[in-house]
A and B are shown apart, each in its own frame.
Chain A
Amino acid sequence: MAVDPGKTVDLAHAMVMKPVAAADWLVVAPVVIPLVFGAVILMLRHETRMHASIAIAALVATLAANIGLLARVIETGPLVMTMGRWLPPFGISFAADALGASLALVATLVALVCAIYSLSDIGSIGRRYGFYTFMLLMMAGVGGAFLTGDIFNLYVWFEVFLISSFGLLVLGSEHRQLDGATKYAILNLVATTLFLTATAFLYGIFGTLNMADIARKVDGLRDTAPLMTLGVMYLLAFGMKAAAFPVNFWLPASYHTPRIVTAALFGGILTKVGVYALLRTLVMLFPPELALLSGLIAWVAGLTMVIGIMGALAQTDLRRALGFVVISGVGVMMAGLALGTGEGLSGTIFYAFHSMIVMAALYLLAGVMNGVGGSYSIRTLSGLYGAHPMLAAFALLLMLAAAGLPPASGLWPKVMLVRASLDAGYPWLAFTILATGLLTTLALGRVFILTIWRPRAEERLAAAVSPRLGYTVLAALSLPIVIMGLYPDPVIRVAQIAAGNLLDAAPYIGTVYPGGGGQ
């Protein structure tokens, strides 16, 4: 790769010469669209009335881009685009495979539904101080995290959505919000710093940050490099991001404090980015290390499930309880990571789709219940059955979904994970997954009979918020839940392709390095 002594430089040695096909711009669209529109909303700060429509339009466009991207990825395999046309690994590559594209799609769907519900939940002050900017930039960060093929760039997107989520969290400045935001920010910054430190070590070991490049170099360095320590560092950093036990404190400390639509957005999306990063790094980059960590991760998974659902049982505030339900779901996803098999990983990925939608829906349900019943506490909230039978139907469906019972979506990933656990010789993990399901039934069943069925003691003056918008968004989220419950085959197929891409990274590497060249 010598520079020509004359003035002419052979660009082909340094840059991608083939122009990017128009359709391949889809790889960056899920990041660019929210980023640009986030900036637009910021510029129109004072036009608070326009914010919501701009945000919704942006998210619709992002969703469309995501759908197109996933369709292409499923059809033709991973897609890559390297920034500035520099050859990988010198420029930053975006590399979308089935895993990243599908998670980005579901996340955007959840965000869109939340944006619609925000019409009734976010007032003009929230808008003025940047609710929609924060939200769109958070989605840009989340999308970037799912789609980037560069581990330092992954760190940057993590920072983008972390800071945006911090903005969302403090919006309102109530005392408990600030208390929650402090814990959230400090603990998350520790995790992010650890991620950064690990990445510095990784760069020192591999001399590259491009994940495909790392994946193809890792076998050659296995004997000389401290990859176990590095793997555990990533496990801890992303485990914190995913809110796995015993580093899950930040989540229950903060998720019950912001506006309910923010909580829905967080509960739906954020922990899954951590799970995604665990899958991407441990499964794709360090599989032998993951195999050695399997027992440890299985324990983490089991404890996360149990501690999570116990937390939910202990709460009387709906929002607090839901935070713990999120955590127990993270444990379920960690189970597939511990198994590391195709079926286990596809179970985890399916569960991630399911959990994004169901957790967001549960938070929004809590919001609607508070709207019509005037409380988040299961001690005082009651008598919703008579006046709002639709609400009862949604509550029942979401309870079943979270507990993993038919006819909702939670059943199938759990079946996959239980089968995979039995196959891999982890019967106790299978037992824990099922027992957690039962405890979830208990925790949410209790909520159901108290808030929905229990008659109202006295005619209290309820906050008279029309639940109509709430019903719309709940219906929008319930539809995929029921479809995935009754006919899960297409989703399982996507999850299996995604898991396959992780276990055999050759197509991914081959896309980033066509012909295996490029240094």
Chain B
Amino acid sequence: MAADGHWLTFLVLMLPFAGAAVAPFLVRSFGHNAAWLLALIPAFMFYHFTGFLSSVANGETVAAGYSWIPSLGVDFSWYIDGLSLTFALLITGIGALIVLYSGGYLKGHPHLGRFFSFILMFMGAMQGLVLADGFLTLFVFWELTSITSFLLIGFDHVREASRRAALQALIVTGLGGLSLLAGLLLIWNMTGLGSMSALLEAEGALREAPLYLAALLLVLGGAFTKSAQFPFHFWLPNAMEAPTPVSAYLHSATMVKAGVYLVMRLNPVMGDTVAWETILPVFGGTTLIVGTLLAVRQTDLKLMLAYTTVSSLGLLIMLTGFGSEKAAEAAVLYLVAHSMFKGALFMVAGGIDHETGTRDITKLGGIGRAMPITFAAAVLAAISMGGLPPFFGFLAKEEIYAGLWQGSGWSGLITLVAIVGNALMFAVGFAVALKPFTGPKVETPKHAHEGPILLWLGPLVLGLGGLLTALASPLSHRFISNPMASAVVGEPVEISISVVPHVGLPLLLSVMTIALGITAYLALARGREIMAGTLRTIGWGPDLGFDQAIGGTVRISSTVTRVVQSGRLDYYMTATFIALALALFVPMILFGELPALPDFPSLRFYEWTVLAIAFIGLGAVLHARDRLTAIVSLGIQGFAVALLFMLLGAPDLSFTQFMVETLSVVILALVMTRLRLSPTDHRPTGEKAGDIAIAAVCGATLGLMLLRVTQIPFDDTLSAFFAENSRAIAHGRNIVNVIIVDFRGLDTLGEIAVVMIAGLAILALVRIRAGKPADARKGGG
């Protein structure tokens, strides 16, 4: 991965983030005019990428990068070919226009600097996404687009709808992001290849991998959520809560195309399978139809555009997955066309909103005279959207029909879907571009007049772009469409379509589409009512489903947590001891670690007696009517054990045990009398039986384990060493003492610390009274 000469690309990849850091300061100095300065950043990036055009047009690619995380074998790498280059040009080119437009649109907004920061961060993330070669580089940028999108949708954070939409987008695209990550890691595991360029070189490796289908579904999970495919489409219209520059940039021109990009990128290595050519057209086609139908229902200009964006994304997925070379070419043409006309139309909608105070299509009319430039931009964009010559959208539509129709039933169905979808989009597009401007003038909240240059420059440039790229189609094909289509198809292809109509089936289908579109345009008001009625009848949608899913998750979580974390110590103790019983019992049985049965012990009569006393003590504990008796009875058992120690020749131990038992009984008894607990502890029989069982298993298994351990010959190296050296070297007669103060003196130090801290903790407990600090008076030592 030599990186000589590629440092400039690396800088360009990082540049937007640097821009994001300085944006707030520039805005502080220059106000909204900082947009002119900040637009230089994407402009420079655009310029940098144009430098690759001719080499990429000649079929060259650039794969470069730096070693990033060598310990994981991860590189920070990028890959420039026709596909990523076109995307990069769209992102930076439209990005520059959007930055300018934002300056006009959010002029005077108190958080304009922050807004520019977010937009530039997004730009960097999006650019990194399409240029990324390494899987993890791609994933990092993929998630960064989701996060910046979250910030931008929630930009107007005061409104609840914004906040909800932001979180919804984050969750839906976050879900997809994790699915994508799983898919990419799975591909990496199966093929050993961790970058796109390597994957593209080893063409068949992935298709023949055993878990191809799983990897495909996971990757598509990422692509479909990001590119708002049905049934994940709902977050996109909600994301219209964002300021319009965001809608134009992220949610139509660039970010939502990340899924399409991914599918196009993987087409050469994952495509050409039954799964690919079924799943993509089915989901894409459904999305196309659902999106257009929902668009018809809307009256808000932005929402109309948002739903047609959903359908356009569906169309793109459908075309990419269809499997014919021409369909892939059509996808490429349509993608470029769509980025321009949809970006322009969104900016137009924002301009109308900004100047009139409303973007409800039923409350707008006749403002064309007041806003002529915006009107012109809108018409230019709508013609391209409608697929009329001589615009780029026309080229795309011709190629769509040429690519889809193959004479079979399946292709017929897909073609029909495309015709219906395109016709409805035609209607909606012209509705947005014509209805507000034409007809009788309607009074709007604000008096309409043309906006400043910042507001109309972007849409006008993009609108004209759709015209110029089509008129100069040999040029745009050579540098843009052909290299990109070649990357999508996986081998060099040549696109020849131009604005001069050729008589043939595609043209016929185009004419049908337009006729259908005009009809739909005229009947739009009726269609809206019908759709509204239908939706009311259905009553449920994925958007509502999302809320239900989230609400359900929270509710289930609360229920589970209430059960698990009940707040009652006795439950916790019971659960803990059940775990202990199982932990001892199960492995002992399962792995044959039970002790051998010992011989019947031959004890002397007084030993039997002491044992009997211990058992009597235990029996008394169980039978005790009140707590005090129980404590004392437990003491009996303890004393018996101490006696046993004595009899078995461990006087030290025995003495300690006597002390401990005496003190515990006394202290426990004192505490119990002071606590004013009820003298008895009633438990239902069932609970008692359960407790007895748990205690019996714990006690018995611990005993069995001890028995088992003592049946292993004991390694007495340590005791022998201590016996040998405690006198000779450590100069102590009492071995136990020497162990405590010398051999294991550190343990003793620790335990002394424990005793001291315990004392201190008790002091704090006794002295500090909540609310009234007890030591406010003098307080002693």
Contact = CB atoms under 8 A, between A and B. Distances in A.
Interface of A: 1, 3, 9, 11, 14-15, 35, 42, 45, 83-84, 86, 89-92, 125, 128-130, 133-134, 137, 140-141, 144, 152-153, 156-157, 159-160, 163-164, 166-167, 170-175, 177-178, 182-183, 186-187, 190, 194, 197, 201, 204-208, 217, 221, 224-229, 231-233, 235-236, 240, 245-247, 249-250, 252-253, 292, 307, 310-311, 313-315, 324, 385, 389, 396, 400, 403, 405-407, 411-412, 415-416, 418-419, 422-423, 430-431, 434-435, 437-439, 441-442, 445-446, 449, 452-455, 487-489, 492-493, 496, 519
Given A86-B743, A226-B593, A455-B158, A187 B69 contact: no
Contacts, number: 309
26 contacts: A3-B728, A35-B753, A83-B745, A159-B751, A173-B764, A173-B769, A186-B569, A194-B580, A201-B709, A207-B715, A226-B708, A228-B587, A249-B565, A311-B557, A314-B554, A314-B558, A412-B69, A418-B185, A434-B182, A438-B171, A442-B553, A445-B150, A453-B166, A454-B160, A487-B69, A488-B69
9 pairs of A and B residues whose beta carbons are closest in the complex: A207-B715, A226-B593, A167-B761, A156-B750, A453-B157, A310-B557, A204-B709, A249-B572, A129-B764
Contacts of A84: 742-743, 745
Contact of A14 (B147, B725, B771): B725
Given A310-B557, A313-B557, A422-B186, 15 more contacts: A35-B753, A128-B775, A134-B757, A159-B751, A172-B768, A208-B718, A229-B588, A236-B579, A246-B575, A247-B575, A249-B572, A307-B561, A411-B143, A445-B170, A489-B69
A437 B139 CA distance: 15
Interface string B742-758: 11111100110110111
Max chain A C-beta neighbours (<10 A), residue from B178, B751, B757: B757
Q: SS class of chain B's interface: helix, strand, loop or mixed?
A: helix
Interface in B544-601: 550, 553-554, 556-558, 560-562, 564-565, 567, 569, 572-573, 575-577, 579-580, 583-584, 586-588, 590-591, 593
Contacts of B564: 245-246, 307, 311
Contact of A208 (B182, B550, B560, B717): B717
A311 B164 CA distance: 22
B69 to A, nearest CB: 5
Contact of B553 (A15, A313, A454): A313
Contacts of A437: 178
B274 interface: no
A183 B709 contact: no
A22 B769 CA distance: 48
Contacts of A167: 757, 760-761, 764
B163 A453 contact: yes
A173 B768 contact: yes
Nearest to A90: B721
A384 to B, nearest CB: 11
Contact of A159 (B593, B724, B725, B754): B754
A466 to B, nearest CB: 23
Nearest to B559: A314
B188 interface: yes
Contact of A226 (B179, B588, B728, B742): B588
A246 to B, nearest CB: 6
A166 B761 contact: yes
A434 B71 CA distance: 22
Given A183-B569, A310-B556, A156 B747 contact: yes
Contacts of B773: 125
Given A90-B722, A125-B768, A419-B188, A153 B746 contact: yes
B165 to A, nearest CB: 10
A217 B712 CA distance: 14
A434 B178 contact: yes
Contacts of B586: 232
Nearest to B716: A207
A256 to B, nearest CB: 11
B603 interface: no
B72 A438 contact: no
B171 A125 contact: no
Contact of B557 (A91, A314, A415): A314
A226 B705 contact: yes
A412 B72 CA distance: 9
B380 interface: no
A453 B579 contact: no
Nearest to A144: B750
B709 A205 contact: yes
A445 B167 contact: yes
B500 interface: no
B779 interface: yes
A518 B9 CA distance: 60
A422 B139 CA distance: 18
